[in-house]
Structures are given as C-alpha cells and as structure tokens.
A and B are shown apart, each in its own frame.
Chain A
Amino acid sequence: MAKQAIRVENLIKRFGEGDSLVSVIEGADFLVNKGELVALIAPSGAGKTTLLMMIGCVAEPTSGKIWLGDELVYDNEWLTKEQRKIRREKIGFIFQAHYLIPFLNVIENVTLVSQTNGVSEKESNAFAMELLEYFDIADKAHNLSSELSGGQNQRVAIARALANKPQIILADEPTAALDTERSVSVVQMLKKIALDQDVAIIMVTHDEAMLPFCDHILKIENKKVVSHDVPKSSKLI
C-alpha cells in the first residue's frame, strides 16, 4: 500500500443523457505506483485529457473510485468539497504549453502554490531556488516568462509542478511543443524526478519516441483503459 500513488477502479465517464449520451470511459481500472513514469496514449478525442482531469479532481466522473495515495477521494461522488485543496497539496500539473502567469516572475510562479499552502515566503523561495538550480535556470529567477525561451519556460512549469512537493504529477502532452531533442530531455527529466522525488507521473503523449523512457503504458482502447508494458519497437499509436 505504501507504494500506491494513483488507483482507479471501474471509473466511468459519460457526457449528456438519453439520445445524446456520449460514453468516453467505460470502466477504467489501473494502478500507478510512486516513482513511476507512466505514458497515457490514445488517438485524439479518445478521452486522455478527460481521464487526466478526473484523476486531477478537476472533472467529476460519472461513477467509480479514485484513490490518491492512500486517500479515497472519489467513491461515486467526491468525498471532499475541497478538490482544489487536494490539487494544491497533492498534485502537480504540467501542460502542453507552459501556461505560466505572465505578470509573475519565475520564482513567483514557482512559489505561488506553496505560499498559498501556507509555506513561508522564505522557505518556499529557498525550495524554489533549489528546483530552479536543478533545472539550470536559477539565473532567470526574477525574469518574466516573456523574457525566457520556450524550453526555459517549460522547465519553469515543471519546477512549478514540483514546488508543492506533490505525490502525483499529471502532464498533458508536455513535449508536444518541443523538438525531439528537447522532448527527450524533458522526459528524461521527468523520469529522474519520478525516481528522485518518489512521485508518480502520468504523461499524455502522442510521441512514440518517448515511450521507452516510461515504466509502463496506459492505453485507451474501446473506452477501456488497458495497461501495457513498454514495447521495444511495436507501434502503439
């Protein structure tokens, strides 16, 4: 139990009702352990982001169960009204674009969530500087995101996702806007973070080249989520 980071049981997501009912996920069951980097793959429109948003306590499932760590957070209904608090304390998000707050500088972007969690400015700044040094962008701590390159901004976004010391990182196509070389660099970085920080990472990706870096693969097939081992050369997408 100590290794469990995300557990999903018979998760269902449907939109609409009656004739306009659209089923997206019909019974997802999977487990992701701490320290694992897991790829989530499926064709466009298959429900990858929807699944990610349900795990991230953003979108409400139709039914099923979700555990984050040992805590059962969803059992056919949210078991807490404070889903935003769960996100703030347990989850880090990384997006396709960096989505940094443009009016905050790098260190403010990184420390925003931890300061909101009640961590002192001094403590959160110190940890943020450690992260920025880890990502080799400490010299940009007081720059605005508009003054950074795309790759630097993405590293700041990853640092932000780690700043609240999350148990889980949900990454929605974090390499989609990057070239292959930078994509590999980012995924290697995520793998290292997963191991170093003992964090579970689910990464949505369309890029087969990123799969060998993952521990296993979740694939949405016919509205079911199927777990696969990492293939050596087969085409999954």
Chain B
Amino acid sequence: MINLAQKDIKHTLGKFIITAMGVGMLLGIVLIMIGVYRGMIVDAKVLLDDLNVDLWVVQEDTLGPFAEASRIHEDLKNSVRVIDGVEKSVGLTFQNLQLQTSVKPVRVVAVGFNPFDKVNPINPKRLVEGNILTHDHYEIVISDNIGFKLGEEIPIGRNLYRVVGITHGTVSSGGEPLVYISLKDAQELQFSYSNNRIRSDRARGIKDSSSNMPMVNAVVATVRLGYTTDEVAHNIRSTLHKSVYTRAEQRDILTKNLIERASKQIGLFTAILVVVSTIIIALIIYTMTLEKMKEISIMKLIGIPNSMIMKMIVQETLLLGFLAFIFGNLFSHLIYSHFPKRVVLEIPDAWMLFLVIMIASILASLIAIKKVINADPAAAIGG
C-alpha cells in the first residue's frame, strides 16, 4: 500500500527537515529552560551535600543563613556538642563578597570554616587543583569559574588572600561561585569593624563594639549512631532554645521556599513555549495541508477515503514532532554548556517532553484534519 506521508515528505524533504530544525530549536529552548530549573535544584544542594551534616542550629525564629540573617555565638558549638546524641559540631559563616578579577568584578559566596575542625565543607572530589586550607589566615580555596589561578593573591577587605586550592562545580543556592576561607578570616570580614567605626561608636557612647564574642551564622552538627536526627534536634531545641533544622528540612527551605518562585516562573515559561511550539506545529501542518488542498480534493474525487488522507496528515505531523524533538535534543546539548548558570539536562525530562510533543502534534493535526474532512471533491474541477 502506498504511504502518502512518506511520498509527500520525500518530495519536499529539504523543506520538511528545515521546518523540523526550526521547531526543534524551539524545543531545545524548552529543554534548556527545564535544565536551568534542574540546575537550580542541583546548585541549591551542592553546599548541603558537600557539608554532609545532619543538623543546622541557627538563630531562634529564623530559617537559617540561606533564607534569613542568622547570627549566633561561635561557642554555641560547645553547648551543642555536649547534647545527648550529638557526635560533632562546628560553626560556619556564609557571606557575599565581590572579588575583582582582571576582567570584571565577580560576586561570590564565602564559606568560613575552621580548617582544623572535623567538619570540612570542601568536597575533595570537587577539588581539581591545590589543597584545602592549611592555615588559619589569608588562604582561599576558590571555584574555577571565577578565573583566578593557583598561587594568585586576591585582595579582600584589608588583606591579601592566596589561592591554595581550586574547586569545580561549587556554587551557592543562588548560583554564585563558592569560595572557602578560614573561620577567623570570615569572622573578621563579617563581624569586625574598622578603626573609624570603633572610634565613631565610642564617641556615641557605645562601649567596645568590636570586641564582641566571635559570631557565626550557623552551627552544624552530626548525629551519633543509634540516634535519630529528629530526636537530637528536639533535644537541642528544648535545651538551647535555638531553631534547629534537619538536613531534609534545610533542603526543603532551599529548594521549596527559595526556588519555588523561580521554578514557577520557569515552569510558566516552559508551558508557554510548549503551547507556542504546538501552535507553530499546527500552523505548519495546516499550511502544508492547504498547499495540498487541490491534490486532496482530487484524491477525494477519485474515491480515496478520508481515513487515508488523515493518516497522511497525522503521520507527517508526528514525524515533524519527532524530528523536531531529535533536533531539539541535539541543539540543547550543543549549547547548554555556554549558559552562565548550571543547566542540567536529564533523560526523564526529555522523555516527558517527547510525550508532550507527540500529544501536542496530534492536537496540532486536528485543524488540518478538519480542513480535509470539509474539503469539497468538486473543487478539484472548479465546482
């Protein structure tokens, strides 16, 4: 049996492929949009996963340093450590810095930690050059996408920091590159005032504003074997009256609370792009059908059943959708690495898009099919 769709496509192969490439680029953008969202989720979890701690103790009535300002005394880590079920606890700081590279200023998130403590936020797997911090002062481990080289010195605050290690793929929940400095340096940068400020405070009658107890943004803790994180979290809450979040809760804060709006925005964009793609496919198929109306009328006149003509249109639409999907995947894989933020292309997302596009293609062919059903065979000979 003659396959009309195959013959028609073969007849206009170049045009068909170029059309599929055009729609494919649109679908590629849809995949990139989904990938940007997936990238945000991955970015949000980098620090959490690298730290690999069970509990986050933060300023009471706050959601912690990723969502709100949280300041607690560093020595709280000692109080946490003695609570039943806690294995180890350390203080961490998180702050935004702007580093001046030779090309442009780069906004980063600095993680301050004690390099001699038992919890290290630098994942050795992400360390691509150099070492982790080995001194209490003026060393920095930096993400490779900032542009500094090993051994280079970076001015931060009043001091120069030497790059001792370079990591890859380390970003904050907001997508900014991460840098790691010692806790002492971080505290100085975040909490110490300049001499002018201290003199100004003294003149106002504020006593000793610079010599507060060392502060951190969070104390993180791991749980001993045999204890559940929930029961240890409860112990800390009831003893120290601080807000405590488990790792899962902290992840929810990052992914649900912080990324929810962004994900809704991207989701809406993606939905609009899918609708636009469907409309474009529908218009293309409709136009292709209109171009063949004379032939369709002739076919109807000589007795070719509607089902055979409709089959041709549906097959062409599905093939257009399928080819566009293939081109979309190729296109997205070619360009995704050039995006400034992380883009994660996942196979299940591609299959989901495939399903959506196939359904959309069938819907898109309906307008053309209606045109076929209504075509007057007498039109073939001018009435």
Q: Which residues of A contact B (CB under 8 A)?
A: 49-50, 53, 56, 58-59, 84-89, 91, 93, 95-96, 99, 101-104, 108, 111-113, 115-116, 121, 144, 160, 164, 172
Contacts and interface: CB of A to CB of B under 8 A. Distances in A.
B382 A112 contact: no
A101 B381 contact: no
Given A101-B298, A104-B7, A116 B380 contact: no
Contacts of B300: 84
A172 B1 CA distance: 29
Contacts of B305: 84, 116
27 contacts: A49-B382, A49-B383, A53-B381, A58-B301, A58-B377, A84-B304, A87-B301, A87-B302, A89-B303, A95-B380, A96-B381, A99-B295, A99-B380, A101-B295, A101-B298, A102-B11, A103-B4, A103-B11, A103-B12, A104-B4, A112-B302, A113-B302, A116-B304, A116-B308, A121-B1, A144-B11, A164-B303
Contacts of B303: 84-89, 91, 113, 116, 164
A115 B1 contact: yes
Interface of B: 1-2, 4, 7-8, 10-12, 294-295, 298-305, 308, 377-378, 380-383
B304 A88 contact: yes
B298 A115 contact: no
A102 B10 CA distance: 11
Nearest to A101: B295
B7 A53 contact: no
Contact of B302 (A53, A88, A121, A172): A88
Contacts of B381: 49, 53, 95-96, 172
A91 B302 CA distance: 8
B304 A113 contact: yes
A127 to B, nearest CB: 15
A108 to B, nearest CB: 5
Nearest to A90: B303
Contacts of A91: 303
Nearest to B383: A49
B287 to A, nearest CB: 16
B302 A58 contact: no
Contacts of B383: 49-50
Contacts of B12: 103
Nearest to B308: A116
A139 B295 CA distance: 24
Contacts of A50: 383
A201 B382 CA distance: 20
A103 B378 contact: no
Nearest to B11: A103
Contacts of B382: 49
A104 B303 CA distance: 16
B223 to A, nearest CB: 70
Contacts of B377: 58
Contacts of B380: 95, 99
Cβ-closest 5 pairs across A and B: A88-B303, A103-B11, A87-B303, A103-B8, A99-B298
Contacts of A58: 301, 377-378
Contacts of A59: 378
A91 B64 CA distance: 83
Contacts of A49: 381-383
Contacts of B295: 99, 101-103
Contact of B7 (A84, A89, A103): A103
